[in-house]
Chains A and B, each alone.
Chain A
Amino acid sequence: MALFLRDKWSLVSLVMLCWAILASFTAGYYYYQYNNLNARVQRTFITVNLGIDYGNNTRFWFNNTQALGGMSLFDITRHIMNVTYSANPTFGVSVESINGLKNSFSRYWIWWKMGDTGWSMGEVGVDSYVVTNGEILLWYYEDITTWPPLKPK
């Protein structure tokens, strides 16, 4: 025991050992809780690649964004971006701005999804579209004076 007091590195090792044990226990706890939650929601964790294009050649990707199966694109977007919206009982949710950039004639936020033939425009409201695992989706701020609007590059 006296060794720990005579040799400072032995004491440092003892402190590090305590820290390692505590960190390992904490990691084990969170690992268990994660797996438990995963099992409770029937392992429906999915990952989605969600991008945002501000229409000025600035595009950011949130790759491998984790979500739960059954979540809509609106749920995921709102989770990782700053979104303002209006909700209509008939037409559902309409996004009004993302990250402070508002819809303003003639540029609006349109969402797109990547398929086998490239980008295709979202066919339903953002809150009605339930994402699936591995999907690539993009919010594109673009001119809609021509319809259909131009596909993202």
Chain B
Amino acid sequence: MNTTKVATIISLVALSVATNYVLVGVPNLKVMDFIVFIGGFCFGPIVGASVGILTWMVYGVVNPYGFVPQVWLATMFSESLYGVFGGLLGKSLVSFSLKDQRFRLGVFFGSFGFILTLIYDLITNVVYAVTFGIPILVSIVLGVPFTALHELSNVAIFSVGSIPLIRAIRKVVGGSTIGLVSTG
């Protein structure tokens, strides 16, 4: 892992943690998922997963909502999925231009964010249920309002923010580490 990647990971983790604390009063509305996803998309699955895990290492331990080891491990694992799938998506869209199909890409990123968030919420709800001895189905069903808020907010953030942030990162860091075709 070269210094550019290390610096990128550190910057993204710092940004994730900082935005988490800024939005601590708004449960389930976070830009962390988006940052982890974009980290993976632009710099690969390993970097993305690292950003997710490291963010929760900090935010999960010093967390105003409390610390539960099982849930903490689950969130670290689930958060890393944003980075992993973001990285895989970045590689599969390597031949796509960000300029040509902005609307389609926006819708696609939003839908992708929705599905990743659904997986994240399902995993964390199941672990929460098992940890506290709550029936799994009840935990999932009762969590629907929070899950829905999390998913809808991520749909909005992913669909609107992905393309501008990917382009901005490419301008700052350069295109060598990013799979997308450089079209400005």
Which residues of A does B touch, CB under 8 Å? 1-2, 4-5, 8, 11, 14-15, 17-18, 21-22, 25-26, 28-29, 32
Return the contact of A5 from the options B101, B115, B138 (Cβ within 8 A): B101
Complex contact A1–B92 (CB within 8 A) = yes
**Known A-B contacts A18-B155, A32-B138; A4 and B144 likewise in contact (beta carbons under 8 Å):** no
CA distance A14 to B89 in the complex (A): 15
Interface residues of B in 120-146 (CB under 8 A from A): 138, 141-142, 144-145
Question: A residues within 8 A CB of B152?
Answer: 22
Flag whether B21 is at the interface (Cβ < 8 A).
no
Q: How many angstroms between the C-alpha atoms of A32 and B136 in the bound complex?
A: 13
Interface of A is mostly: helix
Check A18–B111 contact: CB distance below 8 A.
yes
In the assembled complex, the Cα of A11 lies from the Cα of B159 at a distance in Å of 13
23 A-B residue pairs with CB within 8 Å: A1-B89, A1-B92, A1-B93, A4-B108, A5-B93, A5-B104, A11-B104, A11-B107, A15-B111, A18-B111, A18-B115, A18-B155, A21-B118, A22-B114, A22-B148, A22-B151, A25-B141, A25-B147, A26-B148, A28-B141, A28-B144, A29-B144, A32-B141
| In the complex, chain B residues whose CB is within 8 Å of the CB of A2 | 92-93, 95-96
Of all A-B residue pairs in the complex, the 4 with the closest CB atoms, nearest first, are: A29-B144, A1-B92, A18-B114, A32-B141
- Tell me which of B88, B89, B107 contacts A15 (CB under 8 A): B107
User: How many A-B Cβ pairs are below 8 Å?
Assistant: 51
Q: Is B9 an interface residue (CB 8 A)?
A: no
Query: For A32, what are the chain B residues with a Cβ–Cβ distance below 8 Å?
Result: 138, 141-142
Most buried by A among B111, B142, B151, B155: B111
Q: Is B71 an interface residue (CB 8 A)?
A: no
Complex formed: what's the CA distance from A22 to B95 in Å? 31
B105 interface residue per 8 A CB criterion = yes
Check B96–A29 contact: CB distance below 8 A.
no
Of B89, B105, B118, B141, most A-chain CB atoms within 10 Å: B141
- With A and B bound together, what is the CA distance between A14 and B108 in angstroms? 8
Q: Is the CB of A29 within 8 A of B145?
A: yes
A residues less than 8 Å from B145 (CB atoms): 29
Say which residue of A1, A8, A17 sits within 8 Å of B104 (CB atoms).
A8
Q: Which of chain B's residues have a CB closer than 8 A to the CB of A22? A: 114, 148, 151-152
A25 contacts B144, C-beta separation under 8 Å: yes
Alpha-carbon distance between A49 and B105 when the two chains are bound, in angstroms: 53
B31-63: CB near A (< 8 Å → 1, else 0) gives: 000000000000000000000000000000000
Q: Please name 14 further chain A to chain B contacts, defined as beta carbons within 8 Å, in addition to the given A1-B92, A25-B141, sorted by A numbering.
A: A5-B108, A11-B104, A11-B107, A11-B111, A14-B108, A18-B115, A21-B118, A22-B114, A22-B152, A25-B148, A26-B148, A28-B144, A29-B142, A29-B145
